[in-house]
Structure 1
């Protein structure tokens, strides 16, 4: 309890704003006043309350706020907070916890980092397995989460399910988000333990009733349940199952007041290539701003199998003031013919053809140079977009004039519409921010120029270049938790195989590329320093050989 003498000192000498900050610290569960006084006996004779002492003196001296918050660790791991010169504890209380930042270092964190760097995999696995029985619930539960994600990536689904089930014995499990539940459900479905998966889904719905991914988990469960039934022909039960799956998928769209999807051909199974929204629902329903043409760039290489799905979804956008620039990267299949067929039916579709194969980012740059839109975005040749995706993003940019760009969310799935993600992150799940949805104003292009011509990760580099120049408040994300695009997962993609796999973001091609790009960004003294032409004579920063085209 704060003494009357310390209260008098507090109000006499402390500015009003500091009083509010101190009150927030005092009321926060992350500040432990009794622990703080026991650790630092000088507080008792300081004439200040523990919270006042910590705020005015202790934090600057490197003292801990409690057993669960370490200011030095927080600042060291979050340079944006350190540069801002604000109280790390107050940042965590007001923002960091919601953003998924960690308040204290765990041994399981360091072991997990080594695991994904794949430098000492065996020892990291052994250490994490040892932490499963640690007396600290945070260490034990996080170790289970770390192992579960690793086993999932390795396809060891039973081990994944088993280790994640151990988290339920802890009253205070970390991370305290729905993502571990979702991964456990996925593992149980993969193992064919459908009753257990159903039970976990019901528990997930109770614990996190607003978690969007639960609907997709139910769709997956129904699909697998139907596939276990032996039959020689499509039955009425199959059709009913697919309608139930669509109901779960559409729950996300209807909750956001968006049009539901259905089957293009009711006689065919539910797949990514057989979804649509009724034409009557998409015919010019958006308010179109004549001064807001949207350029959608679609790079294409040997995508004949799925290209029509992507282009159909763009043709059906409710926001009709758009140009779709399809850039064929010297395909050897029917991709160019499919694209030209769309352009003959719809004047908004324009087709450009590369003389030789140069890669997706060179194709994007060709389209970018030809674009005329006030807003610019891209679309992969094998993905599907909800018809209201463009409308939602344009509306967001028009409503937020301080934004220079925006994103929307998506979900990865197989052609059979089984939802997944190669590595679930703690703060979201299968539904997360779609890098390819990045829609930016023309002034961004005029300031930053073109994408870097590499094999992978140039979209991430472009966004980091964007935030370096315009700041992290110059963009936003629309319709969070609603997948406005379905991204097709193909085992042959550059993100899923070989030296450019997404796992190399921890160590390897992607990590090295991002580090080199960050150094270039940091070296820029003015925006023009970070302008990149379509074909620079000299690279502005080195790129790993495996990430260079050719």
Structure 2
């Protein structure tokens, strides 16, 4: 590939000077020096004017071709890249430019063909997080002794991430430290040092060791935002850490941060951003429940926003600590803050909905009571909406932090520290006339709201701004709702969140094509008030990514039970090759039947019968099954399963 780039560069710079100067900029040069842009192929494939120069052809792809979903070469697919990486599409970034400047380093792929080469590794990863960890670990163990360094890298990388998620710090350190010796390219090198330095911290709690680890890497990686964040973490003094963080903000022209005291923590963060007094009113809704330790920091970050036209609505969800008194004191200091009290504890999303009823802003956003926002966050979001009328919503990125602003990794470590913040969503008021409000659930309603927004307005109507810069800090509380086992965020791959997202995705599809015909039930575990024990006559176990015709006609079995006036529960048991796939439409048709409900792992269930569509599924045990009152031995033992086996 290096030879191809050099050859392409020589061919370009040998062209006449007058041609090189036409329509020339850094983006054009980036494409022309890339093996992924082939001007000759591009011109011929799309029958463009043969008189166009290479610069003009590159400019055409940048300004018109990508939006027309044209490919820059036979080796790079515009449509596949956008479909595979919706964050790039939402951010309205040219796909090839993103790949060249970011995607390649992040381990992304330029085309379906390249992805297929990597697919076996992704299959194991999907199985690990998608409920088949036992089988996945057998394969990862085999790869540890493979002759292929890529397989060894994947093996230790996935095991390191698993260990981090389960707070097994010794195993996290042992696996992460092997990655630097196995990394084959820049994307793997970044993963290696990022996991390496964090595992060192969790293993030894030694900031000096972190600095020693990162110092040899500074020359190569000092422009990388994640390296800068990691370097800030390595500082032993709080003010030094703040100085490093401010360098990131100043490099983008953002307001730096300060502290009210010498002690650096969320509660002492402050700023002096230039005020913007005129503009649309923004309503900010804060659900509050027993957040006496963090609400001051949240409200200070909002009252210090550069965008001054705010309506800050705090909805107290029947707190029992001093949260209410603290908010009442803030109301006396700043008339923009309003307090609304719920009659009883109903959950964060119900509190948000109560806030919507009294919000009067042109734009509406939310803010958690344990989060902190950069002083220009709302300004940047509002300006993006005002300047781009086709947009209806804006999101930004955040990082998780400890109280002393030590940045932590996401629950599932990856090659970046800043992540898409669903709770940062800022919308135009008219969106509510279409989407109404949030589902009043225990979790996952943010992502559902965004999915409904994209289904109605199109994905291009929502934009992620500054995806690598943290415009918010979220307190990393491992005891929070999203970290509790039953509704832990990891269940987004297998468990209650996964089932919920699949159902809501099918619901959106049905609403679009058959509006008002179907209303699909969602897992009972998501409701604040739910029965301790669920009850069905028949539990159907199947891989619902497959259609009924592909899996022993499980839909007919469900329909026959309904005809016999039996209630039915559906439990998803994936296969090694289907983890990560979307559910088939037959699953929606089954749930639409009277008395049919979804069942998830860990749910206490009273049932009379268990029917497994394909007993071969049971050869790979899932991580979590329903707890059957009548069959305490569990599904696998009851159905006399085969022994588990390695994946590949």
Report the TM-score when normalising by structure 1. 0.74
Residues 522 and 270 (structure 1), Cα distance of their counterparts in 2 relative to 1, 3 Å cut = same
Contact 1:178 1:204 (C-alpha < 8 Å) held by counterparts: no
1:547 matched to 2:511? no
1:287 matched to 2:276? yes
- Aligned equivalent of 2:269: 275
Alignment counterpart, residue 135 of structure 1, candidates 126, 147, 166 = 147
Contact 1:138 1:174 (C-alpha < 8 Å) held by counterparts: no
CA drift at 1:139: 2.5
Alignment counterpart, residue 333 of structure 1, candidates 312, 315, 321 = 321
Structure with the higher helix share, 1 or 2: 1
Alignment counterpart, residue 253 of structure 1, candidates 249, 259, 262 = 249
1:306 matched to 2:285? no
- Aligned equivalent of 1:229: none
- Aligned equivalent of 2:459: 472
Residues 131 and 18 (structure 1), Cα distance of their counterparts in 2 relative to 1, 3 Å cut = farther
Q: Hey, what's the Cα distance between the residues in 1 that align with 2:144 and 2:42?
A: 48
CA drift at 1:466: 0.9
Q: Number of residues paired by the alignment?
A: 455
Q: Please state whether the residue corresponding to 1:178 is helix, strand or coil.
A: helix
Alignment counterpart, residue 156 of structure 1, candidates 140, 147, 168 = 168
> Which residues in structure 2 correspond to 1:80-159 (within 5 Å)?
101-102=108-109, 103=115, 104-121=117-134, 123-159=135-171
Q: Please state whether the residue corresponding to 2:365 is helix, strand or coil.
A: strand
Q: Please state whether the residue corresponding to 2:483 is helix, strand or coil.
A: coil
Q: Please state whether the residue corresponding to 1:490 is helix, strand or coil.
A: coil
Q: Please state whether the residue corresponding to 2:427 is helix, strand or coil.
A: strand
Structure 1 unpaired stretches of 5+:
2-9, 28-51, 56-64, 81-88, 224-240, 531-537
- After TM superposition, the structure 1 stretch with the greater mean CA deviation from structure 2, 249-258 or 193-202, is 193-202
Structure 2 unpaired stretches of 5+:
5-40, 59-70, 87-94, 110-114, 530-648
> Which residues in structure 2 correspond to 1:83-482 (within 5 Å)?
101-102=108-109, 103=115, 104-121=117-134, 123-170=135-182, 172-173=184-185, 175-176=187-188, 178-192=190-204, 197-223=210-236, 241-266=237-262, 269-277=263-271, 281-282=272-273, 285-290=274-279, 292-424=280-412, 426=414, 429-482=416-469
> Which residues in structure 2 correspond to 1:49-60 (within 5 Å)?
none
Q: Please state whether the residue corresponding to 1:484 is helix, strand or coil.
A: strand
Residues 99 and 188 (structure 1), Cα distance of their counterparts in 2 relative to 1, 3 Å cut = closer
CA distances 1:486-535 after superposition (whole Å, capped 9, x unpaired) = 10111221111120101111100110110111011111228x959xxxxx
- Aligned equivalent of 2:62: none
CA drift at 1:320: 0.4
CA drift at 1:369: 1.8
- Aligned equivalent of 1:488: 475
CA distances 1:9-28 after superposition (whole Å, capped 9, x unpaired) = x99996525999xx9xxx9x
- After TM superposition, the structure 1 stretch with the greater mean CA deviation from structure 2, 154-163 or 322-331, is 154-163
- Aligned equivalent of 2:30: none
- After TM superposition, the structure 1 stretch with the greater mean CA deviation from structure 2, 257-266 or 380-389, is 257-266
Contact 2:43 2:50 (C-alpha < 8 Å) held by counterparts: no
CA drift at 1:167: 2.9
CA distances 1:321-354 after superposition (whole Å, capped 9, x unpaired) = 0100111111122222222222222211111111
Q: Hey, what's the Cα distance between the residues in 2 that align with 1:250 and 1:184?
A: 24
Contact 1:424 1:430 (C-alpha < 8 Å) held by counterparts: no
CA drift at 1:415: 1.6
- Aligned equivalent of 2:573: none
Report the TM-score when normalising by structure 2. 0.64
CA distances 1:366-419 after superposition (whole Å, capped 9, x unpaired) = 111211111110000111112111111111111222211111111101123221
Q: Provide the alpha-carbon RMSD of the alignment.
A: 3.6
Contact 2:99 2:108 (C-alpha < 8 Å) held by counterparts: no
